[in-house]
Copies of this chain bind each other. A is one copy, B any other.
Amino acid sequence: MSRNLDVGMAQMGPTARHATRGEVVKRMMELLHEAAERKVELLVYPELALTTFFPRWHIEDEEEMLSFFEEEMPSEATQPLFDEAARLGIGFCLGYAEVLTDDEGVTHRYNTQILVERDGSQVARFRKIHIPGHADNQEWRPFQHLERYYFESGPGGFGVWRAFGGIVGMAICNDRRWSETYRVMGLQGAELILIGYNTPYFYAADPQQNALQNFHNHVVMQAGAYQNGCWVVGVAKAGTEEGVENIAQSVIVAPSGQIVCQTITDGDELAVARIDLDFCRFYKENVFNFDLYRVPEHYRIISETRGAILPPEPE
């Protein structure tokens, strides 16, 4: 029994602040064509794949800010990518900054990923839940991490969708550090979780963590895959972008927690693995048989509490 899927990681190197969408899409098309040669069925691009990681700057001018966002997807610039992927029969997942106006005329900005099937049909949009960094300009930092200035947390939570012959979920960057991310999707039967990320090497809040960035990147995805019996694909925007060094090491992690595929450069790079979605059952039906072994009555604090509640101080 096997449900094989050929998955490609379309890791991307740095994108300059003033790069045009056309320039970026051209690189994405090159990765797409290499993926076609290698018979990839699902190609995963990183978070905010279409632009530089602009949350490193505090941009007050609205027009300039919105120049990094997409009002529609596909947009004029990305339509050729959507068309070519459909022509080649390759599905894909793509991260971008999304701006939309709701029915009540309120504008929302999200850090979004779209999932597109091999026939070009749009499966789902996921909006990042765990927004890291800060909302105020902090001049002591060598560069900003202003995701909480630019993005709202996605209102839709973590969903899964039947696609690519299995059950697929999505998460974005910082979402991957939170065990709840994987569990909420695992409890919906996720067999494959697609994650794009931009992760600077330098962590201003505690630079002693710098050298551990990639270890942390991997350990959370490995534990998340193992503990939920699912495949996890994590794809970086990597390399030194506008003076800021980002980690690379994009990986495909098996339900065993093992890394089965990893990029080796910090630039545009395709890495491919054949994954068997049926392999999930060895974990979902045994050591992580949720229905048999979970004890949700003792988990209530997880959904009822936000911050930690410490035991009382001794008198």
Measuring CB to CB, which residues of chain A are less than 8 angstroms from any residue of chain B? Answer: 129-132, 153, 157-158, 160-162, 167, 174, 177-180, 182-184, 186-189, 203, 205-206, 208-209, 212, 215-216, 219-220, 222-224, 226-227, 256-258, 282, 284, 286-288, 290-311, 313-314
Chain B, Cβ-Cβ closest to A184 = B301
Minimum C-beta distance from A70 to chain B (A):
24
Are the CB atoms of B212 and A257 closer together than 8 Å? yes
Supply 19 further A-B pairs (C-beta < 8 A) apart from A130-B294, A189-B308, A189-B309: A131-B293, A158-B298, A162-B314, A179-B179, A180-B183, A180-B302, A184-B302, A188-B308, A188-B309, A212-B257, A216-B257, A219-B222, A223-B224, A290-B308, A291-B307, A294-B307, A296-B306, A299-B302, A303-B303
Are the CB atoms of B183 and A293 closer together than 8 Å? no
Known contacts A129-B295, A226-B220, A256-B212: does B308 contact A284 (CB below 8 Å)? yes
Question: For A153, A157, A224, A302, which residue has the most chain B Cβ atoms within 10 angstroms?
Answer: A302
Chain B residues within 8 Å of A295, by CB: 129-130, 153, 306
Are the CB atoms of B183 and A302 closer together than 8 Å? yes
Minimum C-beta distance from A51 to chain B (A):
24
Chain B residues within 8 Å of A153, by CB: 295
Are the CB atoms of A303 and B300 closer together than 8 Å? yes
Count identical subunits in the complex: 2
Are the CB atoms of A306 and B291 closer together than 8 Å? yes
Are the CB atoms of A177 and B256 closer together than 8 Å? no
Known contacts A257-B215, A295-B153, A310-B189: does B303 contact A304 (CB below 8 Å)? yes
Are the CB atoms of B311 and A290 closer together than 8 Å? no
Are the CB atoms of A209 and B178 closer together than 8 Å? no
Known contacts A187-B302, A223-B179, A223-B222: does B294 contact A167 (CB below 8 Å)? no
Chain B residues within 8 Å of A206, by CB: 282, 286-287
Chain B residues within 8 Å of A224, by CB: 223
Are the CB atoms of B216 and A220 closer together than 8 Å? no
Are the CB atoms of A209 and B256 closer together than 8 Å? yes
Are the CB atoms of B132 and A293 closer together than 8 Å? yes
Chain B residues within 8 Å of A220, by CB: 223, 226-227
Known contacts A226-B219, A227-B178: does B130 contact A184 (CB below 8 Å)? no
